[in-house]
Structure 1
Amino acid sequence: MTWTAPEATRSFGPLTAGERETLTGYLAFYRGTLLRKCAGLTGEQLAERTTGPSNLTLLGLIRHMAKVERIWFREGLQGLSLPPMYGAEKGKDADFEDLSPDRAPEDHARLVEEIRLADEAAAGMSLDTTFTWRGSVCSLRMVHVHMIAEYARHVGHADLLRERLDGATGA
């Protein structure tokens, strides 16, 4: 049986809420949107490069966002020292270039798990909580804004990649 990315639910960010609810709501919206863009596709489809010469693929975006979630929330905010998620010897773009359709189920599950762990890391912390990352002081507020921007940019990429794969648009 061929694996396909599961359906994903997406919550919409609040239209009237406090700062924390707005930031976490919109981050959840974009996380869910990326997963929805991948839903129903096989590992082979997720790994397919449809916009050459770019190395962007939906599977690469899944892997990249798992790495970004881990870096900002667990390594940055929590200060954990974790091994590289993908082969460090393959460079900073290994998440986009070292793809295997056979590993797509694990890569998808890793993103879902990193999202869960990121939410767990931030739970109960003030948006004013700070940490030092690569020589700069950052706040949890900035991490939320950065992550929303990162997902929004990549969801735009995902729109184009998905349309090239099977013509699906929207959602």
Structure 2
Amino acid sequence: MTTTARTGPPLVGDERTMLRAFLDYHRATLAMKCDGLSDEDLRRRSMPPSTLSLLGLVRHMAEVERAWFRRTINAEDVPLVWSPDGDYQVAYDATGATRSEAFAAWRAEVEHARRIEASAASLDVTGHNARWNVDVSLRHVMLHLIHEYARHNGHADLLREGVDGTVGA
């Protein structure tokens, strides 16, 4: 059984330290919501016709990490993980997906993101988001990811409760 370690963000720190800590806290929260569940449990959908599941959220967040850090900030010409056509909705459908493939992709994208962030000279480094045709700072990307994880962690709370009654954290 996997048990995810999660460290709360510090109460005091410089901006970059705080952003990094809050992002890692929310990353760990998503992983915690999946701890101890089978592939079948992780694929359990919220309600028809939605394809939303815990495993779908993990897959989606792998896409989000890739899109914002690798494609936008690092200007890498890489396709999305699960959709060469750029359809972000594909990741949500975890039919047939496994914990091992979803978490391997997610962890790989998180590690890429951490390296990109750590190597950036400052939070003012900018990249171009081609999807929205806008330039954004690393600061914006980190705040956006915190927001994205927090929102989806709310979904994960409900999904986990529906699987086995586990609530909180």
TM-score (norm 1): 0.91
One-letter identity of the residue aligned with 1:170: G
In structure 2, the partner of 1:159 is 157
One-letter identity of the residue aligned with 2:73: L
Alignment partner of 1:19 is 2:15 = yes
In structure 1, the partner of 2:116 is 121
Q: Is the contact made by 1:50 and 1:165 (CA closer than 8 Å) also made in structure 2?
A: no
- How far does residue 56 in structure 1 lie from its aligned partner after superposition? 1.0
Q: CA offsets, 1:55-92, max 9 Å, x none?
A: 21001000000010011001111100112311345943
One-letter identity of the residue aligned with 1:111: W
Secondary structure, aligned partner of 2:119: coil
* Alpha-carbon distance in structure 2 between the residues aligned to 1:81 and 1:89: 13
Unaligned runs of 5+ in 1: none
Alignment partner of 1:40 is 2:36 = yes
In structure 2, the partner of 1:107 is 102
Could you list the structure 1 runs, at least 4 aligned residues long, displaced by more than 4 angstroms after superposition: none
Q: Is the contact made by 1:55 and 1:96 (CA closer than 8 Å) also made in structure 2?
A: yes
* Alpha-carbon distance in structure 2 between the residues aligned to 1:167 and 1:55: 20
Unaligned runs of 5+ in 2: none
- How far does residue 98 in structure 1 lie from its aligned partner after superposition? 4.8
* Alpha-carbon distance in structure 1 between the residues aligned to 2:146 and 2:88: 21
In structure 2, the partner of 1:94 is 90
* Alpha-carbon distance in structure 2 between the residues aligned to 1:41 and 1:104: 9
Q: Is the contact made by 1:88 and 1:94 (CA closer than 8 Å) also made in structure 2?
A: no
* Alpha-carbon distance in structure 2 between the residues aligned to 1:92 and 1:32: 22
* Alpha-carbon distance in structure 1 between the residues aligned to 2:20 and 2:58: 19
In structure 2, the partner of 1:77 is 73
One-letter identity of the residue aligned with 1:160: L
In structure 2, the partner of 1:64 is 60
Q: Which moved more, 1:8-17 or 1:46-55?
A: 46-55
Secondary structure, aligned partner of 1:93: helix
Distance 1:169 1:119, change over 3 A: same
Give the fraction of aligned pairs with identical amino acids, expressed as a percent.
40
TM-score (norm 2): 0.92
* Alpha-carbon distance in structure 2 between the residues aligned to 1:123 and 1:91: 29
* Alpha-carbon distance in structure 2 between the residues aligned to 1:62 and 1:69: 11
Q: Is the contact made by 1:60 and 1:95 (CA closer than 8 Å) also made in structure 2?
A: yes
Q: Is the contact made by 2:6 and 2:28 (CA closer than 8 Å) also made in structure 1?
A: yes
Alignment partner of 1:53 is 2:49 = yes
In structure 1, the partner of 2:141 is 143
* Alpha-carbon distance in structure 1 between the residues aligned to 2:13 and 2:90: 38
* Alpha-carbon distance in structure 2 between the residues aligned to 1:60 and 1:19: 31
